[in-house]
Amino acid sequence: MTKINKKDDLLILSVGLIFLLLIFFLGQTGRALWTPDEPRVAEISKEMAKTGNLIVPTLNRKPFLEKPPLYFLCVATLFKIIGKENESAVRFPNGLFGFLTALLLLIWGWRAYSLKVGILSALILASAGLFTQMSHWGIVDVALTFFVTLSLYGFFKAKDNNVWFYLFYIGLVGAFYSKGFIGVTIPIITVFFYLLAIRDFSVLKKMKIIQGLIIFLAFIIPWLWGIYHIGGKEYLRVFIVENHINRFLPGGIKGHVRPFYYYFINLPALFLPWTIFFPMAAKAFYKKRELLKDKNFLLLLCWLVPAFFILTISSTKRGVYLLPLFPSLAFIMSILLIKWMEEPLMLWEKFIMKITTIVLFLLGLAIVIVPLVYHNRSFLKSIIFFIIFIISIPFVWKSAIKGSKKFFIATFIIFIFELFISIPFLIYPVIDRYKDYKPFVTTIVSNIPKDKTIFLYKPDETIRAFIPFYTNRYPKEIETLSEIKKILAAKGKKYIVIMERKRHLSLELSKAGLSKPELRLPISKKKSLALYIAESTYEKNP
């Protein structure tokens, strides 16, 4: 680890930390819960805070066994601290986990190479599109990413002192409680392939595997026993088989099924804007193949490549599942880009730098214009950021024209952070208009007397979460048309709510005699929320 012995180093470190704080914590407030994940996380956390049940997460008072409770517990704790359910509290833990992951990467890069590598690694990670987005979103994967990084940092540090292996196992525990066994799988396969690459399995003797296994099981078994105690073998089956094994096997579970090449196409898009530098990084790697003798670099490759291919062969795929690999990719990119900056500039690289500058300017222009078109209250903010962009972009262009790699990277980072910092002020309010379901939900529910049961027909997780979170009313979920007919046959008015796409559910309900909703609220072109009020058929069917 290099010491800070220059004022310039101290200044760069300070500016870097300020950038990280701004990018992770700006934009956490002032907007509604966004689909698809935030409503679910919010309601599960709310029910956990109210019931005190820390073992089995519930959604609309039904067991939710897709994921362990760590992130929900973080949000529930915040709800308790602030004394109310708040949308910002759903996201804040992710901002913190994102910041801590970037900070950990900074420290790791600093210790393994230099302060320059550490800061650049952290800044690349913080400004990688998907990681930035998810750090402002109530979703469990950022916590998973932090604990995977913590675990592997412990393994890296253990070369100095075997005691650090305990951090490796503690990271495994956190990764499990974030997202289950996949959290444990990534660090373990990383270590396996790393030992295979260096051809030294004697490290296993130093890893305190027995003690580590005891630590891991001491934390994991009580929770698994807890869900077994509450729900028996069925709860264990749902958690282990349905939500782990079946998600990996072809045809094992419905939803998010993608072709094998899905991640090959999506990773470059999700890692933008740093994907632009992939060709430069590839060139640096080709010229500096001696990096393969660097054990830290090998560890990073073994983190990225095997896990990527394991995720690729899994049947269920989402872009966010790649998030635990982003720290390794950011770290590798920082090492290679610093090597690239030491080499003479090629004409094609200069051309990419110029095109990148033009694209950045157009992107900044779009960020300024979009709110003016869709959100008329953003005029002053748009003007302020337009001035900032206009002042900054000439410096990026000048560095591209002169072919100064270091200056270009520095101005590129500054401009990218300006773009990301502008998004909460300019773009989030626009998105919020289309993502905020609260007005629709509260309007629908306000038409249902408080002493009447709300029936949800074939609800998705979004509507199952939104209604209880915003109205404190817990609907009864109905999955079959025969159940609807039985409900309609009982005395009194019935209130049935559906969230539908392309009117499929309306056609089904028409078969039960519900031809027209009392209220339909279009949420988007393909999606609407509808309320059916049905008179009893009791007299007709004595």
CA–CA dist 26, 381 (Å, integer): 15
Mode of pairing for the β-strands spanning 476-478 and 519-522: unpaired
Token pair of 21, please? 């704080």
CA–CA dist 27, 22 (Å, integer): 9
pLDDT digits (tens, 9 = 90+) for 346-389: 888 889 888 988 998 898 888 888 887 776 666 788 888 888 88
- Please give the DSSP secondary-structure letter assigned to residue 246: H
CA–CA dist 6, 233 (Å, integer): 61
What's the pTM?
Answer: 0.91
b/e burial code for range 28-61 (CB count within 10 A of at least 16 → b): beebbbbbebbbbbbbbbbbbbeeebebbbbbbe
User: Which has the minimum average pLDDT: 122-136, 328-342, 525-539?
Assistant: 525-539
Where are the domains positioned within the chain? Answer: 7-340, 347-434, 437-534
Token pair of 225, please? 């026993």
**Which 3 state secondary structure label does DSSP give 344?**
coil
pLDDT digits (tens, 9 = 90+) for 68-120: 999 999 999 999 999 888 889 999 999 999 999 999 999 999 999 989 999 99
What pLDDT was estimated at residue 542?
41
Edge to edge, the sheet with strand 494-501 lists: 476-478, 454-457, 494-501, 527-534, 519-522
CA–CA dist 75, 142 (Å, integer): 14
What pLDDT was estimated at residue 330?
97
User: Which has the minimum average pLDDT: 15-24, 153-162, 252-261?
Assistant: 252-261
List, as one string, the DSSP characters of 465-492: HHHHHHH---PEEE--HHHHHHHHHSSS
Structure confidence at residue 251 as a pLDDT band (50, 70, 90) = low
CA–CA dist 161, 151 (Å, integer): 15
Q: Are 304 and 325 in contact (CB under 8 A)?
A: yes
What pLDDT was estimated at residue 277?
93
Instruction: Give the number of residues written for the chain.
Output: 542
**Which 3 state secondary structure label does DSSP give 369?**
helix
Q: Are 536 and 489 in contact (CB under 8 A)?
A: yes
- Please give the DSSP secondary-structure letter assigned to residue 306: H
User: Per-residue pLDDT for 338 more than 90?
Assistant: yes
Angle between helices 347-374 and 379-402 (to 10 degrees): 170
Residue 390, CA distances (Å) to 127, 418, 422 in order: 21, 11, 14
User: Per-residue pLDDT for 537 more than 60?
Assistant: no
Structure confidence at residue 253 as a pLDDT band (50, 70, 90) = low
Query: Is residue 509 packed enough to be buried (19+ CB in 10 Å), middle (13-18) or exposed (0-12)?
Result: buried
Torsions phi, psi of 510, nearest 5? Answer: -65, -25
Mean pLDDT over each residue of the chain, to the nearest integer = 87
Q: Are 512 and 488 in contact (CB under 8 A)?
A: yes
Q: Are 536 and 496 in contact (CB under 8 A)?
A: no
CA–CA dist 174, 507 (Å, integer): 46
Structure confidence at residue 540 as a pLDDT band (50, 70, 90) = very low
**Which 3 state secondary structure label does DSSP give 521?**
strand
User: Per-residue pLDDT for 464 more than 60?
Assistant: yes
Close Cβ partners of 133 (under 8 Å, ≥ 6 residues apart): none
Number of alpha carbons in the 13 Å side-chain half-sphere of residue 365: 7
Q: Are 278 and 216 in contact (CB under 8 A)?
A: no
Q: What would the mean pLDDT of 275-290 be, rounded to a whole number?
A: 90
Structure confidence at residue 15 as a pLDDT band (50, 70, 90) = confident
User: Which has the minimum average pLDDT: 29-43, 95-109, 266-280?
Assistant: 29-43
Close Cβ partners of 63 (under 8 Å, ≥ 6 residues apart): 56, 57, 231, 235, 238
What pLDDT was estimated at residue 400?
84
Q: Are 109 and 117 in contact (CB under 8 A)?
A: yes
